[in-house]
Amino acid sequence: MQLTYVLELLKPTKRKENIFLNNIAEVVKNRQTIADKLKAGETKLSSADFKEINLPSSVKNQNIREVKALYKLFLKSDSDKDNIEFKANQPVCYNNQNYKIDHHIISIPLYTTKCQRFAFPVKQTERFEELQQYIDSGCKLGKASLFYKRGKWYFAVTIKIKNKETSNPNIMGIDIGLRQLAVASVKNPQGKEINRQFHTGKQAGFIRKKYRSLRRKLGQSKKVKVIKNINDKEQRWMTDLNHKISRQLINLLCCDGPVGLVSAARRKKCRA
């Protein structure tokens, strides 16, 4: 099983922040160029094919792996678009050999006038302490990514842990949607449903419509700052709702004992 821990970096200096932003801009160019080459039929790619891109070779190679996987999904989707398009704010991705975590310091390669390794401290939260315990116990690190969101910098680390064995044969399945945000069903080995839980999306839909209407009115009045503030309020409300639903799903798991299938909602809760 894989868990992803999102760690917040302590506020970097202006110089380091500019280096972050420059590397992100290069990642966007690199990924779009890779997609264009894949469309042209060039599948054997390496970092040497992108010498004009100012990024460490390890990041270029990781971008190639990421874009190839996305391109396969794009072809399967039968999209009307001509090719994959990448937004401006792309993460800088690393495989597990190209970053290091030493206590509360993260070390990653970035490009300035040349490739250099930079060290950044992270906030020492309970989430970070939990990740450190997994590392100390010998769990294998997976890929990681540096990204920017709402004025803060984050470093997301994926870690692989062993699945806990259970003797309980019950199975739990979860379906996620819009009208019903989540429907959980627990079945015994004979296939008989022994428990079910619904989480309606009516209230979430009402809140979304309410804030969408409010943003439209404020946009006509050119009140940009107020729009940003209410967006934060809406996001906090939705985050709280998701937290409550995931907690109820975990409680359902606890009531029926360990089950053979862990839901996507529980994995999301574990990462939070």
Nearest alpha carbon to residue 261 among 175, 173, 160:
173
Are 138 and 8 within one domain? Answer: yes
Are 86 and 108 within one domain? Answer: yes
Contact of 68 with 75, CB cutoff 8 Å:
no
Strands 105-111 and 115-121: antiparallel
Are 16 and 125 within one domain? Answer: yes
Are 76 and 141 within one domain? Answer: yes
Are 29 and 148 within one domain? Answer: yes
Nearest alpha carbon to residue 53 among 30, 79, 76, 35:
30
Q: Identify whether 263 is part of a domain.
A: yes
pLDDT digits (tens, 9 = 90+) for 174-216: 888 888 888 888 888 888 888 888 998 899 889 989 888 988 8
Domain extent, residue 239, equals 171-271
Confidence of residue 125 (pLDDT cuts 50, 70, 90): confident
- Considering 131, 160, 189, which residue would you say is the last residue of a domain? 160
CA distances from 199 to 25, 170, 254, 259 (A): 40, 21, 18, 20
Are 13 and 138 within one domain? Answer: yes
- Measured CA to CA, the distance from residue 242 to residue 205 in angstroms comes to 13
Confidence of residue 164 (pLDDT cuts 50, 70, 90): low
Confidence of residue 265 (pLDDT cuts 50, 70, 90): very low
DSSP state of 164: P
- For residue 135, what pLDDT is reported? 84
Q: Identify whether 165 is part of a domain.
A: no
User: What's the predicted TM-score (pTM) here?
Assistant: 0.62
- For residue 270, what pLDDT is reported? 36
Core vs surface per residue 169-202: b (16+ CB within 10 A) or e: ebebebeeeeeebbbbbbbeeeeeeeeebebebe
Q: Identify whether 166 is part of a domain.
A: no
For residue 124, report the phi and psi dihedrals to the nearest 5 degrees: -90, 85
Strand, coil or helix: 257: coil
Are 134 and 233 within one domain? Answer: no
The count of domains in the chain is: 2
